[in-house]
Structure 1
Amino acid sequence: MPQPIFDIVILTDSRYINPSVPDGYVQNVLKEDQIVKEALEARNLRVGRKDWADSEFNWEQTKAVLFRTTWDYFNRFEEFQGWMEEASSKTHFINSKILINWNIDKHYLDDLNRAGVSVIPTRYLNRGNGMSIHQIHKITGWRDTVIKPTVGGAGRHTYRIQPENIDIIANKLIEVMQKEDFMLQPFQESVLSSGEWSFVFFGKNFSHAVLKKAKPGDFRVQDDFGGTVHEYIPKESEINFAREALMACPELPVYARVDLILNNSGKMAVSELELIEPELWFRMKPKAANLLADEVIRLIP
């Protein structure tokens, strides 16, 4: 067995390894990974940074890997699953493989709901069950909805469905829905007015929060679609609400992002819980990387 040359490797994807002319988006990725790298190195850890799909690297040569910006995995899902299976036998995953396998598919929202965590109502259209977009709308009675894959990110195959466009969206997704599971949720009006809050935790410790707002005329808060991010000072009750979702996980994550919105009844609800490769906005709060590093160092074998 080869001797480890790294204590930890920060995982990214090929787009963020030595980019020739990085735009502002990529510069943010590089800056935040550098902030994390420096925080880990300050604790005398040997730190590398690798594309998860780097076929030339032997994953036995690092004691642990930290999932950070592996933002192509949902477009290469079968390949990613194969890599996970192989690499997890050679090195330690942060977050753990248990958490990643649980969180990678948004059916986890059902688990949170059963644990008493308030989530957005969700119905699933699993591939092969024959259920169409029209049928699920008829069953639920929902007329204004959002549909997206249960495995995905960055707004991939995500659409707002209303009576005037349901035929268009159904036809657009008919082929991909034969290959992937999808989820349907009633559209939450507050996304347009209030936006979405993200709460960042390291272990049980709350670090910081941001408010994400969609650009006018859109409902997607991701910066890929023109969304903006703003500093947010939360109330203690909001932090505690977000922490309830954290404590409903199969095990306590090293890092987590809890996304909250106001539901159509005006109450806070979890929209997503991100445990694999969430954006954590270290550029807005660099000292947060120290909290992450403190959690990581406890797990280095």
Structure 2
Amino acid sequence: MDVAIVTYAGLPQLDAYDSPILSALTALGLDARPCIWDDPAMDWRTAKVAVIRTTWDSHLRREAFVAWASKVGKLTRLYNPPEVLRWNTHKAYLRELEARGIPFTPTVWVPQGSTVALDAVLRERGWDTVVLKPVVSAGALKTYRFHRSELEAAQACLDTLAAEAELMVQPYLTAFETEGERAYLFFDGAFSHAVRRPPGLKDSPRSFQAPHLFEPVPEELRLAEDVLAAVGQPLLYARVDVATDNEGRTRLQELEATEPSLFLSLDPAAPTRLAQAIARKL
């Protein structure tokens, strides 16, 4: 096998957005197959290259996943590399990028087993609505939004979450409701396409319902490129998510370098661009 496209048992044939990569690799004359990351029968030495794609249970079993990546990275060429996967699956990486000069949404970090007084945070920061999220999470899992009028429930939720894991407290960005979140996709360091996405929180108001292509905003594209430069090593694929804060400034939301949807089906040329980037690793 030339290329193992790594997924999880819930999506054995990948999802509709990303499955075009298989036919694009086949068109280049490569033998590419979806493989489930924790399949005990899989011999990863049989793949020349393994590319993480839809391992969408990795945040539920992070330690098992990063241990698997470390092992497989010794058996074949794994992308993105194991050290990137470990770093990127814990949102503390955002603190590192902020320390390197990347503008990131203001965040109060709550250590596991600790707490903060939310009324004081709201008062000192001037926030009306907050979002609580664990540092290991995906798909808005255990992510909650509270208005200052719900302070008692918000504090109880924070205390419960922080007892289990390190926690992030951020302002709710109202621009999500009209602008959504903008995703800038890169393959082998080169910009590929940009996608506008609706808010991740299911109960958030939204002006559109489905992800769609849009023309890159030069300022946002420069920020996305700065984010990749701040990582300090090349990535086979990356999705840089940005949004507008409540003061009208563009800020990083996430650098997705583990298992992001790359929305290949939205841009007819994107699957070929990614396939060519993968082929260069062979």
Q: TM-score, normalised by structure 1?
A: 0.84
Query: Following the alignment from structure 1 to structure 2, what is the Cα–Cα distance between the partners of residues 152 and 272?
Result: 12
Q: Which runs of 5+ in 1 are unaligned?
A: 1-5, 19-28
Query: Following the alignment from structure 2 to structure 1, what is the Cα–Cα distance between the partners of residues 259 and 176?
Result: 23
Query: Following the alignment from structure 2 to structure 1, what is the Cα–Cα distance between the partners of residues 152 and 131?
Result: 14
Query: Following the alignment from structure 1 to structure 2, what is the Cα–Cα distance between the partners of residues 220 and 251?
Result: 37
**8 Å contact kept, 1:155–1:220:** no
Match of 2:239 in 1: 257
Match of 1:290 in 2: 272
Match of 1:93 in 2: 78
The answer to whether structure 1 residue 7 and structure 2 residue 2 are counterparts is yes
Following TM superposition, by how much is the alpha carbon of 1:146 offset from its aligned partner in structure 2, in angstroms?
A: 0.9
Query: Following the alignment from structure 1 to structure 2, what is the Cα–Cα distance between the partners of residues 197 and 215?
Result: 12
Match of 2:145 in 1: 160
**8 Å contact kept, 2:66–2:86:** no
Q: Which runs of 5+ in 2 are unaligned?
A: none
Q: Deviations over 1:103-155 (max 9, x none)?
A: 11111111221221111111211213454656655665544211111111111
Aligned with residue 16 of structure 1, among 11, 14, 21: 11
Following TM superposition, by how much is the alpha carbon of 1:93 offset from its aligned partner in structure 2, in angstroms?
A: 1.4
Q: Deviations over 1:75-100 (max 9, x none)?
A: 12232233223222222211111221
Match of 2:110 in 1: 125
Larger deviation: 93-102 or 79-88?
79-88
Aligned with residue 277 of structure 1, among 259, 263, 281: 259
**8 Å contact kept, 2:18–2:262:** no
Distance 1:266 1:8, change over 3 A: same
1:1-301 correspondence to structure 2 within 5 Å: 6-17=1-12, 29-131=14-116, 133=118, 137=122, 140=125, 142-172=127-157, 174-214=159-199, 218-219=203-204, 227-300=209-282
Secondary structure at the counterpart of residue 264 of structure 2: coil
Q: Deviations over 1:39-65 (max 9, x none)?
A: 222223221211111111122221221
Partner letter of residue 105 of structure 2? I
Partner letter of residue 111 of structure 2? N
Considering only aligned residues, what root-mean-square deviation do their CA atoms show, in Å? 2.5
**8 Å contact kept, 2:2–2:48:** yes
Larger deviation: 144-153 or 168-177?
168-177
Kindly, what percent of the aligned residue pairs are identical?
A: 28
Following TM superposition, by how much is the alpha carbon of 1:203 offset from its aligned partner in structure 2, in angstroms?
A: 2.2
Secondary structure at the counterpart of residue 241 of structure 1: helix
Larger deviation: 160-169 or 260-269?
160-169
**8 Å contact kept, 1:99–1:251:** no
Q: Deviations over 1:262-289 (max 9, x none)?
A: 1111111111111111111111113111
Match of 1:24 in 2: none
Distance 1:133 1:53, change over 3 A: farther
Query: Following the alignment from structure 2 to structure 1, what is the Cα–Cα distance between the partners of residues 160 and 54?
Result: 29
Q: TM-score, normalised by structure 2?
A: 0.89
Partner letter of residue 273 of structure 2? L
